[in-house]
A and B are shown apart, each in its own frame.
Chain A
Amino acid sequence: MTGTGHRMIGIAIAVGLAWGLAADAPPARAQGAPPIRVGFSSAMTGPSAITGEGVKWAAQMLADEYNAKGGIMGRKIELYWGDNAGTPGEAVSAVRKLVDVDKVDVIVGQTHSGACLGALPVVKELQVPMVIEACSHPKIRELIGKNGNEWAFRVNPDDVMLANQFAKFMAQSTKTVSIFAQNDDFGRGAATAYDAAFKKVGIKLVSTEFFDRGQADYRPVLTRVKRANPEAVLLVMLASEGSVFMRQFREVGLTQKLYARGSMATVEFLYQVKDSPNIADGLVEATYWTPALDPAWEKQWLERWKVPVRIHGSLAAIAFRYAVAPAIEQAIKKTGKADRKAIRDALEEVDVHNTPVGRIKFDDTHQAFINMLLVEISGGQLKVLEKIPIQP
């Protein structure tokens, strides 16, 4: 009997603990007008949790900032989280939870293409607007806007849109390239796009290698690159992997010219290699966001989170600030309310010039065309080489 008693106490403690934490924070009700409920969805658990962490931090900064000003048109912002773990199945759950349980008015997110692809049919079914901030799968553009999903919008360009310009830039000084890309939708999509773009500008692709994220040892593949001996290497990788990669790149003694897609020419990367800041000097990255575009945001981020500003959070912030927030404002002005349909309609009208990333206006495929940037690491600092508008 005492055995059972102990067991019961154990369960009671565990359940109590769980409930205690569960009940932890029901979002505080705003006074007056009902709040706008915004869902941010990204990978918050699993191997890609680093992206979700950045998105969450950015969202908290935004909510505090807007709410300090009294919200948007007097309506406070209330945040809700969806965890897609980077997979389509979990993204379906995340979207359904955000929409049906949390009753969000608009969703920003998914970050990972697999999750985006899973979420797309669900936002259409549930009729909730979703602004994609970072999914780079080229197929997404074929699915949204007039192509069949009027509820999804994408702010970020994909590599099919960047590759031609970037390849042209590379061709000025390079004849042979090896691609080294992370083995996911982003890396695979980019590798395909650059393969095609290289052919157009006469660059010879010597080899393509894929690596799984969280890999410890890149040396075997670096030895292969050494053997293939290209003039340049195109890295498709994030800062979290890039630092270890660059150390081993130098350890092997490679001196190839470096190009990158991902988050290599970023403060995240430079922070990780702060002991040897010149390790990636000369690397040129094609991107669409860098802290120099918005120094105030960077400063605020650093003060609040004590770590360098992250690209994924910043992209979510851009999507919110220059697409979602103006759409909400317009929806309220026009229809007096900010429901899902009104926000969706307003998103189609959004046209914000001179944002840090360029103009944000969605075309009929619900794709925005922001600027492409070429950022170079030089003397351990980031230098914006060129700002190139992307053509629709």
Chain B
Amino acid sequence: MSDLVEQLVHGLTLGSLYAMVATGLALMFGVVRLINFAHGEFYMLGGYAFWYAYAELGLPYPVAGLAAAAAMAGFGLAYERGVIRAILTRTWHVQLIATLATSITMTNLAILVFGTQPKEVPTRLSAAILDVGGVRLAWQRLLVLVAAVAIFAGLEWFVAHAKLGKAMRAMSQNREACAVVGVDVQQVALATFGISAGLAGAAAALVSPLFNIFPDVGALLTLKAFAAVIVGGFGYVRGAIAAAFLIGIAESLAAGYVSYAYKDAIAFVVMVAVLLVRPQGLFGRRIGI
């Protein structure tokens, strides 16, 4: 029993990670209909930003975490201006190659700049262990979960109530109409990239103390988050979050009870099965984010 609880706990940690990355992907897809294949690399860069602020500059953990998220938000804005704006109106294949090219460039630049040795950023919370009836977990895992839930709640509120958030939702439903009624479409797209990249940075600041930061940490992450976005129903943020947690938990259970070596295969088999039964994704084809 405690065994199962343990596996579920791992699943929730992984799920939070996937969900924070998938949310960014889903937002981008929802608002501008573009899949950012460099999103895992955003997480990687966020990790290095956090490492720099926390381990090199010696900032306190919350400050360093926010700094990483802010730095990545800034990076997201620059990315939108520098790369995305040039390809927004182009076909999907141009977008695909452009974001893939960004991902190749970022990974290899990271090798050059930061080296291949993984960076470790243990915090006080990642070393402190909570023991509940034999199930032991680092406090950091709780922090990841709580912070992830808080972020998602904040995002919900933002999309429902803030002016910018409402504009994002409107754009995800009908871009042309938005332009007609005077929504500054470009500004909204810009903000979406800032928020999405900021989320990746926040995810990195939360999760890196548990795992390592290294140049190609993003590769598999993009795929898993992408899977969550699709299983969740394309561009539907709540669906993507739920799917991300499902994938995280499925992966943990598979690793714990079936085979560790085959866990990624199992995660993807489950995903394909879901897609075959419900090609529109688990949560239907909703319009909007």
Residue of A219, A240, A247, A253 touching B117 (CB-CB under 8 A): A240
Q: Is A209 touching B261 in the complex (CB atoms < 8 A)?
A: yes
12 other A-B residue contacts (CB within 8 Å) besides A240-B116, A268-B117: A183-B261, A211-B260, A214-B217, A216-B210, A216-B211, A221-B256, A223-B10, A240-B118, A240-B214, A247-B126, A250-B129, A251-B129
Measured CA separation A253–B133 after assembly (Å): 12
Measured CA separation A261–B251 after assembly (Å): 28
Residues of chain A within 8 A (CB-CB) of B210 are 216-217, 244, 247
Q: Is B115 touching A307 in the complex (CB atoms < 8 A)?
A: yes
B216 within 8 Å of A (CB atoms) = yes
Q: A224-B256, A276-B127 are in contact. Are A219 and B211 (CB under 8 A)?
A: no
A386 within 8 Å of B (CB atoms) = no
Interface range on chain A (Cβ under 8 Å from partner): 20 to 34
Q: A183-B261, A217-B13, A223-B6 are in contact. Are A244 and B117 (CB under 8 A)?
A: no
Q: Mark A236-256, 1 if CB is under 8 A from B, else 0.
A: 000010011001001111000
* B280–chain A nearest beta-carbon distance, Å: 30
Q: Is B108 touching A45 in the complex (CB atoms < 8 A)?
A: yes
Q: Is A219 touching B129 in the complex (CB atoms < 8 A)?
A: no
A210 within 8 Å of B (CB atoms) = yes
Measured CA separation A268–B120 after assembly (Å): 12
Residue of B7, B126, B129 touching A220 (CB-CB under 8 A): B7
Q: Is A275 touching B111 in the complex (CB atoms < 8 A)?
A: no
Q: Is B122 touching A223 in the complex (CB atoms < 8 A)?
A: no
Residues of chain B within 8 A (CB-CB) of A47 are 216
Interface centre among A219, A253, A275 (most CB of B within 10 A): A219
* B258–chain A nearest beta-carbon distance, Å: 10
Q: Is B118 touching A272 in the complex (CB atoms < 8 A)?
A: yes
CB within 8 Å of A: which B187-219 residues: 207, 210-212, 214-217
Q: A224-B260, A251-B136 are in contact. Are A273 and B120 (CB under 8 A)?
A: yes
* B139–chain A nearest beta-carbon distance, Å: 10
Measured CA separation A133–B259 after assembly (Å): 33
Q: A45-B108, A244-B212, A247-B122 are in contact. Are A220 and B115 (CB under 8 A)?
A: no
A50 within 8 Å of B (CB atoms) = yes
Residues of chain B within 8 A (CB-CB) of A272 are 117-118, 120
B98 within 8 Å of A (CB atoms) = no
A53 within 8 Å of B (CB atoms) = yes
B184 within 8 Å of A (CB atoms) = no
B106 within 8 Å of A (CB atoms) = no
Residue of B10, B115, B122, B129 touching A217 (CB-CB under 8 A): B10
Measured CA separation A45–B116 after assembly (Å): 10
CB within 8 Å of B: which A153-197 residues: 183
Q: Is A251 touching B14 in the complex (CB atoms < 8 A)?
A: no
Q: Is A209 touching B260 in the complex (CB atoms < 8 A)?
A: yes
Q: A53-B115, A220-B252 are in contact. Are A275 and B127 (CB under 8 A)?
A: yes
Residues of chain A within 8 A (CB-CB) of B138 are 251
Residue of B3, B7, B117, B263 touching A307 (CB-CB under 8 A): B117
Measured CA separation A49–B126 after assembly (Å): 28
A294 within 8 Å of B (CB atoms) = no
Residues of chain A within 8 A (CB-CB) of B137 are 251
Q: Is B120 touching A210 in the complex (CB atoms < 8 A)?
A: no
What are 23 A-to-B residue pairs whose CB atoms are below 8 Å? Answer: A45-B111, A53-B111, A53-B116, A214-B214, A214-B216, A214-B217, A216-B217, A217-B10, A219-B6, A219-B9, A220-B7, A220-B10, A240-B118, A243-B118, A243-B212, A244-B210, A244-B211, A244-B212, A247-B126, A250-B129, A252-B6, A273-B120, A275-B122
> Across the two chains, which residue of chain A brings its CB closest to B121?
A275
> Across the two chains, which residue of chain A brings its CB closest to B108?
A45
B255 within 8 Å of A (CB atoms) = yes
* B16–chain A nearest beta-carbon distance, Å: 12
Q: Is A220 touching B255 in the complex (CB atoms < 8 A)?
A: yes
A364 within 8 Å of B (CB atoms) = no
Measured CA separation A156–B131 after assembly (Å): 44
A227 within 8 Å of B (CB atoms) = yes
Q: A247-B122, A251-B129, A276-B122 are in contact. Are A220 and B260 (CB under 8 A)?
A: yes
Measured CA separation A220–B212 after assembly (Å): 17
Measured CA separation A251–B13 after assembly (Å): 14
A212 within 8 Å of B (CB atoms) = yes
> Across the two chains, which residue of chain A brings its CB closest to B123?
A275
> Across the two chains, which residue of chain A brings its CB closest to B137?
A251
Q: Is B115 touching A253 in the complex (CB atoms < 8 A)?
A: no
Measured CA separation A294–B252 after assembly (Å): 43
CB within 8 Å of B: which A21-60 residues: 45, 47, 49-50, 53
Q: Is B211 touching A217 in the complex (CB atoms < 8 A)?
A: yes
Q: Is A240 touching B212 in the complex (CB atoms < 8 A)?
A: yes
Residues of chain B within 8 A (CB-CB) of A223 are 3, 6-7, 10, 256
* B82–chain A nearest beta-carbon distance, Å: 14
Residues of chain B within 8 A (CB-CB) of A212 are 261, 264
Residues of chain B within 8 A (CB-CB) of A50 are 116-117
* A2–chain B nearest beta-carbon distance, Å: 16
Interface centre among A211, A244, A247, A253 (most CB of B within 10 A): A247
Q: Is A221 touching B260 in the complex (CB atoms < 8 A)?
A: yes
What are the 10 closest A-B residue pairs judged by CB atoms, nearest first? A220-B255, A50-B116, A216-B211, A220-B256, A221-B260, A210-B261, A219-B10, A253-B136, A49-B116, A53-B116
